[in-house]
Amino acid sequence: MKQKAFLSALLLLIFFSCAYAQVNLDKEKLDRYIGSLGEHDRAMLSLSIAHEGNVIYEKSIGYASKEKNLLSDNQTIYRIGSISKVFTTVMIFQLIEEGKLSLETKLSDFYPGIKNAEKITVSNLLNHSSGIFNMTNEPSFRQFMVSAKTKDQMVSRIEGLKSDFEPGSQSDYSNSGFVLLGFIVEDLTNTDYPNAVMERVIRKAGLKRTRYGSNINVENNEALPYRAANKEWQAVTTFTDMSIPGGAGAMVSTPTDLTEFINAIFDGTLISSNSLNQMKEITRGYGRGLFEMPFNDKTGYGHGGAIDFFSSNLAYFEEDKLAVSMTVNGVLENTNDIMIAVLSMTYGTPYTLPDFGAEAIDLPEETLLKYEGTFASDAIPLKVTLKVENGKLTAQASGQNQLTLEAFSEKEFRFEQAGIVITFEEVSDTIDYTRFILKQGGGRFEFKKE
């Protein structure tokens, strides 16, 4: 069982911060950064950057299959998880444009057995305001996800889920809603989702390495996922059967195909400008199939994805016609931090390359005792207690498991499995043991000792 991270809520949005700049790719520096990630086994990934519809950078590091010694390249296919929701959203808006559906169409027209179906609209499903409980949060989901299910079985399971709130009154991420949207696509096109997405999206956008997923075949240059264990990449052996996520997360692709896909959305190839504007409308942090991805004073739109230890990111900055996509099948660094670095070097803004060769160090117990205490933050409702146990500094957030931190200097401690970095402030070469900065998931939070 993985230890819980401090910030237990899923970080749905990717927030970038850096100084303002125009597209000015520093390819040499980006090569060094990505290369260093690979050299020090910090990540296995593929990256693509396109400007004005043309690929200006591609890079892959790590293995598609470590066991077979197959290196990844720009043709390697990855599971992309929730980026699949963008494919589903595009097809829903195509059907709206064809007059077969509207944003106000009720779920009860298709699946009346869902709780509150007569109140839930297509728009509610698209912007996560339906109130339908997120099926992946069910305790039994990990057992449920590994074997194939029929459409009727999936609908029946969702019918059994509770409603978290009155439709339209709140917003909360729900994979269940997008599974239903995928079924609605099937109902209105009289074909299955794989055929619908092939005809309506993949062929229209000219994508070459994108499709509805199935069992991973490494001989077809499809990546396996890995997790870090004792500083080694360990193959993941339990996989989601792709009949489960459907329109919410079953697509596979490459970063280059994904940049072409999002370009085709924004250039009018797949949907009208009116449909795109409705996708970009944000309510309580959620668009219809898209999220805002701010980069200083720029605003990108896109989506992230995570499934079976794969993770992915797709962003489009309309003002600059810049598309960035990254697919990951093994990572120790925080993926949001990687995207910050990639965008910084794409826009030519100042960025200091990190030292991935840094090693954890041992600090004497009498030194570690100076860090002990309970710390609170004005930014998040969590308290963090630091305590020395068995010669190591541990951290425990309110209501969460205790984590063992590794020291990388006398002011920096990390829990790398969750991308947590705790840095104590230094004043005039003296460490201030009463305050630290916690970084995780692109967030930066100041904590003070009580």
The tally of CA atoms less than 13 A away on the side-chain side of residue 346 is 27
Q: Give the mean model confidence (pLDDT) for residues 292-319.
A: 93
Residue 19: pLDDT band (50, 70, 90) is: very low
Same fold, 21-356 and 365-449: no
Domain boundaries, given as residue ranges, for the chain: 21-356, 365-449
Output 335 or 279, whichever has higher pLDDT.
279
pLDDT at 20: 47
Helices (H), 58-201: 84-97, 122-126, 141-144, 151-159, 175-189, 193-197
**71 pLDDT higher than 80:** yes
Output 7 or 22, whichever has higher pLDDT.
22
* 342: enclosing H helix or E strand: helix 335-346
pLDDT at 359: 85
Q: Give the mean model confidence (pLDDT) for residues 374-395.
A: 94
- In tens, the pLDDT along 430-447 reads 999 999 999 875 678 999
Q: Give the mean model confidence (pLDDT) for residues 349-367.
A: 89
Specify the CATH architecture of the domain 365-449. Answer: Beta Barrel (2.40)
Q: Given CATH 3.40.50.300, say whether it is the number of domain 21-356.
A: no
pLDDT at 399: 85
**156 pLDDT higher than 80:** yes
Both tokens of 8, joined, read: 């237990």
Dist CA 323 CA 147 (whole Å): 35
Angle at 274 between CA 273 and CA 280, to 5 degrees: 85
The tally of CA atoms less than 13 A away on the side-chain side of residue 276 is 16
**5 pLDDT higher than 50:** no
- In tens, the pLDDT along 388-400 reads 999 999 999 988 8
Q: Are 435 and 449 in contact (CB under 8 A)?
A: yes
Residue 14: pLDDT band (50, 70, 90) is: very low
Helix axes 335-346, 27-39, angle to 10 degrees: 160
**295 pLDDT higher than 80:** no
Dist CA 413 CA 384 (whole Å): 14
pLDDT at 441: 58
Which of the residue ranges 20-24, 174-178, 331-335, 432-436 would you say has the lowest mean pLDDT? 20-24
- In tens, the pLDDT along 74-127 reads 999 999 999 999 999 999 999 999 999 999 999 999 999 999 999 999 999 999
Interacting residues of 55 by C-beta distance below 8 A, sequence separation 6+: 48, 49, 256, 259
